[in-house]
Amino acid sequence: MADNYRVEFTSQPEGEALRKMLLALGELSRGELSGERMNVAYADRSEEDEHSCFSDNTVNDFIANAEGIRMVYTGDYPGTDGPGIGDLVGGSDPDLDTAIRTALDTSVQNAEAIPAPFDRLVQEGVPDSDPGRRQVLRTIVSLEDQAELLADAGTALDVKVVLS
């Protein structure tokens, strides 16, 4: 079937495909995961804005999202051995690749350290000094930091990645 996104995506110039991949990783890191899925519920203390408000699975979803970003960058998927975007970045700027891999690991570790259930952390009356709330904020910041590094990867690979 020739009428599908995979065919369209793989027929693009390499630079454009790479730009879209880095943009997607950066936007998922900052705009979507740290922003819409975490910070909105955190800042507004809104259980309704919780990622998985009906299942108490929010923390697991955060972890899976952070791991997914890392897997795309590294190419390390369970049961699959292949290259990742990090291989290209490492060939161009090894120090940046190391910084990105460290940031990705940090974000996953931070997400894993958020105590479940998440809805207890966003309720009114839970002080910002609560260890669980501090951990959520730590995770949000680490995801924002990794997004900036992913945009920097675009520069290292001569593609323009502008995060919104």
Residue 9, domain member (yes or no): no
pLDDT in tens, 98-107: 999 999 999 9
Residue 58, domain member (yes or no): yes
Domain that holds residue 40: 15-156
Residue 141, domain member (yes or no): yes
Residue 31, domain member (yes or no): yes
pTM: 0.93
Alpha-carbon span 130 to 57, nearest angstrom: 20
C-alpha dist (Å) from residue 28 to 8, 31, 70, 121: 22, 6, 11, 22
Residue 7, domain member (yes or no): no
Residue 162, domain member (yes or no): no
CATH number where 73 lies: 1.20.1420.20
Q: How many domains does the chain have?
A: 1
pLDDT in tens, 15-60: 999 999 999 999 999 999 999 999 999 999 988 777 676 678 999 9
12 DSSP 8-state letter: S
Q: How far is CA 4 from the centre of its chain?
A: 26
